Amino acid sequence: MSVLGGHPPRWLQRARADSAGALTAEHPHGHTAAVVGSSAELLDVALPWLAAGLAAGDVTVLACDPDTTEQLRTQLGPDGSQLLVDPGIALHGTRPPDAVGALRRLLDQAPGRVRVLGMPSFGAEPRDWHEAQRFEAALTPLFAGSGVDRLCVYDRRVLPPAAVASASATHPHLLSGGNVVGSRDYRRPDAYVRALPIPREPMEQRPPAFAADGMRSLPHLRHQLRAALAAHVPDREQCEDLHLAVSEIAANAFRHGVPPVSARVWASADRVVCTLTDRGSGFADELAGFQPAHGDDLSRGGMGLWLARKLWDHVDLVAAPTGLTVRMSTSLR
């Protein structure tokens, strides 16, 4: 029901009159999920949430696909023009570090609380789902106590069942029937991410295009990786980006791991995979790399995993008794 040209519907009157109701003040501001299965359910969940945010004076943001964004703004009538729109915050056309960075900048610029309605993009393939699940799990600790109130809407009509099932495990709160409740299935983010299956890239089943073992010199390994990537990545700018990331991961292996370091590169006409392995203890921080380790001061380093997640489609940390492997894979332009 459009609010244009008539009296506001009851849900909008209620949200405006009582912005401290069940949707706002009765649960800790943070990370909430709602699962919907129809347009009507989507509107019932989204519209009160958005209207209550506007009524409370929150910076209120839509992070959805274009069609949903237009539908929600239209339903809100004149108030819809007050909504900010940034689909990248929910991984529409962005990678996780860029989504985190966009939300950080918004929070820094906002005079008060930030309220985001996002419909997470999970991509088309299982390996994309893994990245989105990891991102959703990481959001809770990344923005705990920050003043960001985020509602993630999972639409059963468009998302794979595995993505929908992950909502209750990656969000500490669930919105159902207009009430926010604690999620009984919520798992500690690092434990959840550690338990996610890490599918092997099919190319890893065949001999690599490049292999180096026993490397004890970082400059020499960087040089070899540059040549290996240049032979298989036709887009020069992408090749430079990929090499920058793997160089930083290699530097991490030498500085924080235990040499010697080994490297592998596999390539096809449309995809490249690179692994770097050191002999360290195998400890892996599964939530690292969504933002620079030392904040905005990039001169202090700590950019390896952050750059890898920014510049490659998928980054996995594979811990084993023999050491730690960082595996990066991406499609080619």
Contact 263, 274 (CB under 8 A): yes
**Within this chain, do residues 165 and 26 fall inside the same structural domain, yes or no?**
yes
**Within this chain, do residues 155 and 220 fall inside the same structural domain, yes or no?**
no
- Domain tally, the chain: 2
- What is each CA distance from 32 to 74, 84, 110, 149, 332, in whole angstroms? 24, 19, 21, 8, 35
**Within this chain, do residues 52 and 147 fall inside the same structural domain, yes or no?**
yes
Q: Is residue 121 in a domain?
A: yes
**Within this chain, do residues 166 and 241 fall inside the same structural domain, yes or no?**
no
Residue 323, CB-side half-sphere exposure with 13 Å CA sphere: 19
Q: Is residue 260 in a domain?
A: yes
pLDDT digits (tens, 9 = 90+) for 240-249: 999 999 999 9
**Within this chain, do residues 190 and 69 fall inside the same structural domain, yes or no?**
yes
pLDDT at residue 283, as a whole number = 61
pLDDT at residue 135, as a whole number = 96
Is the peptide bond between 260 and the residue preceding it cis, with omega within 30 degrees of 0? Answer: yes
Question: Given 146, 165, 195, which residue is the final one in a domain?
Answer: 195
Range(s) of the domain holding residue 232: 202-331
Question: Given 138, 163, 195, which residue is the final one in a domain?
Answer: 195
Q: Is residue 315 in a domain?
A: yes
pLDDT digits (tens, 9 = 90+) for 178-220: 889 999 999 999 999 999 988 888 999 999 999 999 998 999 9
pLDDT digits (tens, 9 = 90+) for 7-46: 455 545 544 443 434 444 344 468 999 999 999 999 999 9
pLDDT at residue 3, as a whole number = 37
pTM: 0.87
pLDDT beyond 60 at 272: yes
Structure tokens at 55: 């009524």
Q: Is residue 250 in a domain?
A: yes
**Within this chain, do residues 189 and 208 fall inside the same structural domain, yes or no?**
no
**Within this chain, do residues 47 and 127 fall inside the same structural domain, yes or no?**
yes
Structure tokens at 155: 């639409």
Q: How far apart are CA 106 and CA 326, in angstroms?
A: 31
**Within this chain, do residues 186 and 220 fall inside the same structural domain, yes or no?**
no
**Within this chain, do residues 63 and 133 fall inside the same structural domain, yes or no?**
yes
Q: Is residue 102 in a domain?
A: yes
Which of 227-231, 306-310, 322-326 comes out lowest in average pLDDT?
A: 322-326
Q: Is residue 246 in a domain?
A: yes
Contact 62, 75 (CB under 8 A): no
pLDDT at residue 259, as a whole number = 86
pLDDT at residue 44, as a whole number = 95
Question: Given 135, 165, 195, which residue is the final one in a domain?
Answer: 195
Q: Is residue 5 in a domain?
A: no
The backbone region for 105, taken as left when phi is positive above 0, alpha when psi lies in -120 to 50, beta otherwise, is: alpha
Q: Which residue has the higher pLDDT, 89 or 24?
A: 89
**Within this chain, do residues 246 and 149 fall inside the same structural domain, yes or no?**
no
CA dihedral in degrees (144, 150, 153, 154; nearest 10)?
Answer: -20
**Within this chain, do residues 246 and 144 fall inside the same structural domain, yes or no?**
no
**Within this chain, do residues 170 and 257 fall inside the same structural domain, yes or no?**
no
At residue 177 the predicted structure's pLDDT band, cuts being 50, 70 and 90, is confident
pLDDT at residue 2, as a whole number = 36
Q: How far apart are CA 332 and CA 273, in angstroms?
A: 10
327 sits in which H/E element: strand 323-331
